[in-house]
Amino acid sequence: MPTNAFQLHPRLAKDTLVVGDLPLCRLLLMNDARFPWCLLVPRQASLRELHDLSAADLGRLTTEVVSVSRALETHCRTFKINLGALGNLVPQLHVHVVGRREDDDAWPGPVWGHGQAMPYEETEAARLRKVLQAACGLTSAR
Amino acid sequence: MPTNAFQLHPRLAKDTLVVGDLPLCRLLLMNDARFPWCLLVPRQASLRELHDLSAADLGRLTTEVVSVSRALETHCRTFKINLGALGNLVPQLHVHVVGRREDDDAWPGPVWGHGQAMPYEETEAARLRKVLQAACGLTSAR
């Protein structure tokens, strides 16, 4: 599928803030101050499952997951990284990278479906986006 | 870490049935007939996060995740594959590959933490292990 056919699913667009575009994925920050929680969305049309990606793109996705995981570990005092690719509600392929802390709101359960999102204060969202952009080699959000 | 230092975490051993050993991971079947649900556990000591793996082993893990995902899709009438690496309760790195159906017990929520496991009947467990072994190129469980 051509890259230019990619459109972010409206539900993902509504729930997140854009951090920027990595080689394969759009990097998003969930607008939920309870957890440092990123989404990686490969910028290709019609992807539903991880194994819909080519082998080369699977390698790129893995590299980007590792990069975001390390960024959250380094900059967000996380205790554990939780990874997930579910897509039961939003069919567009997206990978969750969530920094967990032993005192967070959902610990030790998963974050998915847990309570209500608490939107970021504007300054904190801007700070965190800049931190992630720098840590992942991005210079600006699109 | 040497491969021979690997020991399966007792909680994972208790909750699962062994399917066999892929090149990197031990393939396990969760003993829960509500969902076709596999675990992949890299056979290396002291792994906690996905990014603790070498780049080569990350590639192997991805290949094995894809292989198990396709096996569940093909043989278990799944509607969606859910992938997860959490490790909040069991620190040993393990990846969940779960076949989901729109009429399953937890749909559309995640399976983790949902209700109580329903152990397989012995014949159904044996059948499913054989199906997975054949689909993933394994000849026998260890």
pLDDT by residue for chain B (142 residues), tens only, comes to 455 589 999 999 999 999 999 999 999 999 999 999 999 999 999 999 999 999 999 999 999 999 999 999 999 999 999 999 999 999 999 999 999 999 999 999 999 999 999 999 999 999 999 999 999 999 754 4
* Interface touch B84/A108, C-beta < 8 Å: no
pLDDT band of A115, cuts 50, 70, 90 = very high
Q: Which pair of structure tokens corresponds to residue B32? A: 């829960």
Contacts of A99 in chain B (CB under 8 A): none
Give the separation between CA A2 and CA A43, rounded to whole angstroms.
9
Q: Model pTM?
A: 0.95
Structure confidence at residue A27 (pLDDT): 98
Interface of B with A (CB under 8 A): 48-51, 58-59, 62, 65-66, 69-70, 80-89, 100, 107-110, 112-113
pLDDT tens, position by position, A35-54: 999 999 999 999 999 999 99
3-state helix, strand, coil in chain A (%, to 5): 35, 20, 45
Residues B37, B122: Cα–Cα separation, whole Å: 16
Interface test with A, best of B24, B47, B49 (most A CBs within 10 A): B49
Which of A50, A59, A83 is closest, CB to CB, to B69? A50
Q: With beta carbons under 8 A apart, name residues in chain B contacting A85.
A: 81-84
- What pLDDT was estimated at residue B141? 46
Residue of B47, B50, B73, B136 to mutate when probing chain A, most A C-beta within 10 A: B50
Q: What is the pLDDT of residue A139?
A: 73
Cβ neighbours of residue A26 under 8 Å, at least 6 residues apart?
A: A8, A18, A20, A40, A41, A43
Percent of chain A with pLDDT over 70: 95
Report percent pLDDT > 90 for chain A: 93
CB contact under 8 A, A58 and B62: yes
Looking at residue A141, its pLDDT comes to 46
What pLDDT does residue A10 have? Answer: 98
CB within 8 Å: B85 and A84: yes
**Is CATH 3.40.190.10 the classification given to domain A3-135?**
no
pLDDT at A4 over 90: no
Q: Between A49, A70, A113, which is nearest B110 by CB?
A: A113
Q: Residue ranges per domain, chain B?
A: 3-135
What are the C-alpha distances in Å from A97 to residues A85, B49, B52? 9, 12, 15
Sign of the dihedral through C-alpha B63, A137, B53, A103: negative
pLDDT at residue B140, as a whole number = 56
